[in-house]
Each structure stands twice: as structure tokens, then as C-alpha cells.
């Protein structure tokens, strides 16, 4: 039987597992954290529980007898690329894009200026971000970027405590957001309304918030293009509708401002807290590739604010010697086959955001993984997979058990899951997340150890 290791237990990793199991591979799914589901647990906004219910599909995959989960195993630290290639016919990288893009402007690292990735990970209880502190005592926040993550962040800043209370928002964030002074959020786009990367349901949802008025200056819609793309055309229609609304005097406001690029995060003294954002006012020009580009008009303005969250996309980081395309911030690959200067690397594949970049919704990863697995199976048929020296499932478990102190198996995760759900139940919450790695390992370990000690 052929054996595959998948590195990263987010959506693309689970879809790859599902497809490989169908092709009768044995699948070991490795994850750096003690918990599975990647961005479904740590990215999807807590007020979107329906989106999170996709985990039921992954749970079904995990029931397959040829599937194993190894949580708490850091690729490149606990196990190396060479060690995996010695043990598996195929290694599939599904570890996503772990960092964020930077604006590259003065003042970006001032206190009060953060990346949305950190903020999202913090309110979702990611163990690496549990200690983070955000200055939520400012009245105005600016969120830079016009994608769905920017919408999530803006919404989370204005949801009321009683709206967040029934969610799985991390307890530390519930407390901090409940005490927050932010009443105004400015969403800043460097291009125009027709170029925003929002999807329609998410943009509509922004106009239905209980305690925030949505403000769009009608003048910003003047001359907006009528894009061919259906999503973008509908976005413009939704924004035109918003621009006609009269504010109803709600306690909070979200304002969408287009054609503005950050130039400098302003603050008290050289390293002091954020006091504002200096922005260039842009106009749109058609680039050589036919795409609309933002070009500065030479005019500037200052937006007073005490918090800046940049939400301008994620970026992959090189891991454990896997060939990496620095320019794109992705694993070097051709259609999912990992490549180096000599061509395809035998037995190595990539799926999800680390293969194609941080775009699309969760379901996009299903096709992405299927495409890669299709090529993997072609290679299997053609005798082009890896040739492992020790493809022994029992030996892998022993090896990991001895090497990884906090190894959490699927049964261990189920214990964590049950524990979190039982904590949430009395308050009518889906779960109360454990946010410290030691706590997660403690709950998951006793059950996990029974599997390998």
C-alpha cells in the first residue's frame, strides 16, 4: 500500500487526505498545532458558525481506517523533509501562507499598528497569539485593505458583547472587545469600489449590523466602472445602495473610503502610539496589462485614529528546505508538483494557499487539492513517486511518540473537542477554546499516549 504524509491540517490538507484515501493510500496528516482545521478554527470569523460547519466533512475523512492525525508536530523542527521522504511515497505540503504582507511605510511598527492576521488569530484563540495585546481604547480604527478579511475585522470591531457572547470568540478577546472604545472604523481601499475584493454576501452583511451605520460617500461612486465580473458588478450595486442610506444614529459607524493609499503611520514621537494615518489620494489608470491601477494624484489627507490594522493579504514563508519562490511567497511548483532547478522533486506536492496563493473561499481548496492529487496519482501510475526506505506505519508512530513530547492523535483532538464543547455548553456557546498549547496538550495527551506508549 502507498503511504502519504500531508503537512498542514487545514481545508486543503483535509481535501487532499479525502482524495488520497479514495485512491487507497494510507494517509498521515501532520499539524504543527495540537488542533486540526487550520483557518477554519483560526481564521473564519466567530460570528460565521455556518462556514465552520465544513469541519463535519473533515471529521468524516478522519474516520477512515487508513487515516491518522499527528498534531503538535512542527515540520522542520520535530521532523525534517528528508525524514518524511524516507517514510512516505508522497509528501503533500498544505501548510498555508503563514505571515502577512507589509505596507513598507514609516511608522508601520508603532504601538497600535498591527496586521489583521495577528488580530484575527488573537480573537480566534490561536495559541501563538494568546498573549497579544491590542489597543482598543482608541475611538477610531483604520482597516487597510478591501478584501473579506478586512470586512471580518471591521465587523468584529463593532459587534456588541451580546452578539459575540454566543460565539467561540476566545475569552480574552471577548473581554477586550467588550471593553473596547472603538466606535468608528474606516475601511480603506487603494483602488475604487469596482476593484474591491469583497464577495457579495460579506459586503451585504456589513450593511445589516445591529449597532453600526454604514457610511459611503456617494461622490466615491461617481464614475465607478461597471465591471464585467458579476461579483464586482454586484459589489458596486450594493455600494450604491449604501451610499443612498441616511445614517440612523447608531452608536457605531463603518465608513468605506476608496482611492486612498497609506503613506505613513503617524504617532507620538519617533516610537510612540498611533495617532493617525497619512494617506495619498489616488486616481485610477489602466495599466499595461489592462488592469486598473491606483496612481497618486499628489493630494494627501490625514485620518486621525488610534489603531491601524493592515489587511492586505497573506504570504507564505520558506520551510524546512522545501523549494520556495521568494517573489511569489509560495512553494515552487508546477500544477502542484514541487519543483527545483532540476525539475519536479520526486514524491513532493503542494496544495492550497502555499501552492497557489492566498485566494478563494474554503471550497476552492477542494478543486485545488483534487488537481494536485490527480497529478500525484499520474506519477504513482508512472512509477514516479518517492521510494521510501521505511514505509512502515507502526514504526512512524513509535518514532513520533519518542520524538514529539506533545504529540496529539485524532483521539486526543476528540478529547480536546469534547472538553471545549462541554465548557461552552452552559453558556450556550459552541465551545470555549483552550488558547494555550500546554492546556491543549494536557487534555489531548492522555488519550493520545494510549495510542503509542
Stretch that binds ligand NAP, among 9-17, 64-72, 280-288, 308-316 (CB under 6 A): 308-316
Which letter does DSSP use for residue 70 in this model? Answer: E
Stretch that binds ligand NAP, among 154-162, 164-172, 189-197, 322-330 (CB under 6 A): 189-197
For ligand NAP, the closer CB: 139 or 325: 325
Q: Determine phi and psi for 166, rounding to 5 degrees.
A: -80, 10
Strand 113-115 to 307-310 pairing: parallel
Smallest separation, CB 45 to ligand NAP (Å): 7
The answer to whether the Cα torsion of 424, 425, 427, 429 is positive or negative is: positive
150 binds ligand NAP (CB under 6 A): yes
Using the CB atoms, write b or e for 228-261: b if 16+ within 10 Å.
eeeebebbbebbeebbeeeeeeeebbbbbbbbbb
CA pair distance 144, 416, nearest whole angstrom: 36
Out of 66, 98, 199, 424, the only residue in the binding site for ligand NAP (CB under 6 A) is 199
For ligand NAP, the closer CB: 101 or 442: 101
For ligand NAP, the closer CB: 202 or 420: 202
For ligand NAP, the closer CB: 20 or 305: 305
118 binds ligand NAP (CB under 6 A): no
Out of 359, 367, 438, 450, the only residue in the binding site for ligand NAP (CB under 6 A) is 359
The gap from C-alpha 36 to its chain's centroid, in whole angstroms, comes to 14
Q: Which residues contact 50 (CB under 8 A, 6 or more apart)?
A: none
Stretch that binds ligand NAP, among 25-33, 249-257, 296-304, 359-367 (CB under 6 A): 359-367
Smallest separation, CB 358 to ligand NAP (Å): 5
147 binds ligand NAP (CB under 6 A): yes
Smallest separation, CB 181 to ligand NAP (Å): 25
Please provide the size of the chain in residues. Answer: 453
Binding residue count for ligand NAP, defined by CB under 6 A = 26
SS3 labels along 299-362: EEEEEECCEEEECCCEECCCCCCCCEECCCCEECEECCEEEECCEEEEEEEECCHHHHCCCCCC
Enumerate residues 398-437 that contact ligand NAP by CB under 6 A.
none
Smallest separation, CB 183 to ligand NAP (Å): 23
Q: Determine phi and psi for 322, rounding to 5 degrees.
A: -75, 130
Out of 81, 129, 191, 232, the only residue in the binding site for ligand NAP (CB under 6 A) is 191
Residue of this chain nearest to ligand NAP (CB atom):
147
For ligand NAP, the closer CB: 203 or 385: 203
DSSP secondary structure, 35-54, as one string: S--HHHHHTS-TT-HHHHTT
CA distance to 41, 59, 276, 416, 446, per residue, from 406 (Å) = 20, 22, 44, 13, 10
Enumerate residues 309-348 that contact ligand NAP by CB under 6 A.
311-314
Smallest separation, CB 157 to ligand NAP (Å): 15
CA pair distance 130, 173, nearest whole angstrom: 9
Q: Greatest CA separation found in the chain?
A: 70
Q: Rule CB under 6 A: which residues touch ligand NAP?
A: 101, 103, 144-150, 152, 189-191, 195, 197, 199, 202, 261, 311-314, 358-361
Amino acid at each position: 500500500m502507498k503511504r502519504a504524509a500531508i503537512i498542514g491540517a487545514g481545508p486543503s490538507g483535509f481535501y487532499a487526505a479525502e482524495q488520497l484515501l479514495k485512491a487507497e493510500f494510507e494517509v498521515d496528516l501532520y499539524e504543527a498545532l495540537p488542533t486540526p482545521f487550520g483557518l477554519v478554527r483560526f481564521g473564519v470569523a466567530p460570528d460565521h458558525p455556518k462556514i465552520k460547519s465544513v469541519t463535519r466533512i473533515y471529521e468524516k475523512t478522519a474516520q477512515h481506517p487508513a487515516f491518522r492525525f499527528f498534531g503538535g508536530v512542527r515540520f522542520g523542527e520535530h521532523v525534517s523533509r528528508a525524514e518524511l521522504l524516507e517514510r512516505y511515497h508522497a509528501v503533500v505540503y498544505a501548510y498555508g501562507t503563514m505571515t502577512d504582507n507589509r505596507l513598507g511605510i514609516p511608522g508601520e511598527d508603532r504601538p497600535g499598528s498591527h496586521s489583521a492576521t495577528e488580530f484575527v488569530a488573537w480573537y480566534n484563540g490561536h495559541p501563538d497569539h494568546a498573549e497579544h495585546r491590542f489597543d482598543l481604547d482608541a475611538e477610531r480604527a483604520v482597516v487597510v485593505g478591501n478584501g473579506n478579511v478586512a470586512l471580518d475585522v471591521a465587523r468584529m470591531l463593532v459587534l456588541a458583547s451580546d452578539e459575540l457572547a454566543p460565539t467561540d470568540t476566545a475569552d480574552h478577546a471577548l473581554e477586550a472587545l467588550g471593553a473596547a472604545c472603538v466606535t468608528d472604523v474606516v475601511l480603506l481601499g487603494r483602488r475604487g469600489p469596482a476593484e474591491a475584493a469583497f464577495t457579495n454576501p460579506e459586503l451585504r452583511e456589513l450593511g445589516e449590523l445591529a449597532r453600526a451605520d454604514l457610511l459611503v460617500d456617494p461622490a466615491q461612486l461617481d464614475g465607478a466602472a461597471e465591471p464585467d465580473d458579476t461579483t464586482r458588478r454586484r459589489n458596486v450595486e450594493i455600494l450604491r445602495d449604501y451610499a443612498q442610506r441616511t445614517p440612523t444614529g447608531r452608536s457605531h459607524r463603518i465608513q468605506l473610503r476608496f482611492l486612498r493609499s497609506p503613506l505613513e503611520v503617524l504617532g507620538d514621537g519617533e516610537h510612540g502610539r498611533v495617532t493617525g494615518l497619512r494617506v495619498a489620494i489616488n486616481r485610477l489608470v489602466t495599466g499595461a496589462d489592462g488592469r486598473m491601477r491606483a496612481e497618486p494624484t499628489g493630494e494627501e489627507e490625514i485620518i486621525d485614529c488610534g489603531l491601524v490594522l493592515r489587511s492586505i493579504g497573506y504570504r507564505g514563508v520558506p520551510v524546512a528546505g522545501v523549494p520556495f519562490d521568494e517573489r511569489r511567497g509560495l512553494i515552487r511548483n508546477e500544477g502542484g508538483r514541487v519543483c527545483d532547478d532540476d525539475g519536479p522533486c520526486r514524491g513532493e506536492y503542494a496544495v492550497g494557499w502555499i501552492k497557489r496563493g492566498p485566494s478563494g473561499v474554503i471550497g476552492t481548496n477542494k478543486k485545488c487539492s483534487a488537481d494536485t492529487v490527480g497529478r500525484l496519482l499520474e506519477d504513482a501510475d508512472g512509477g514516479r513517486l518517492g521510494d521510501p526506505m521505511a514505509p512502515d506505519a507502526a514504526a512512524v508512530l513509535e518514532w513520533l511518540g519518542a520524538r514529539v513530547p506533545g504529540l496529539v492523535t485524532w483521539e486526543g483532538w476528540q478529547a480536546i473537542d469534547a472538553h471545549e464543547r462541554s465548557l461552552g455548553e452552559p453558556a450556550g456557546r459552541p465551545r470555549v477554546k483552550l488558547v494555550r498549547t500546554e492546556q491543549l496538550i494536557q487534555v489531548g495527551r492522555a488519550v493520545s499516549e494510549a495510542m503509542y506508549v
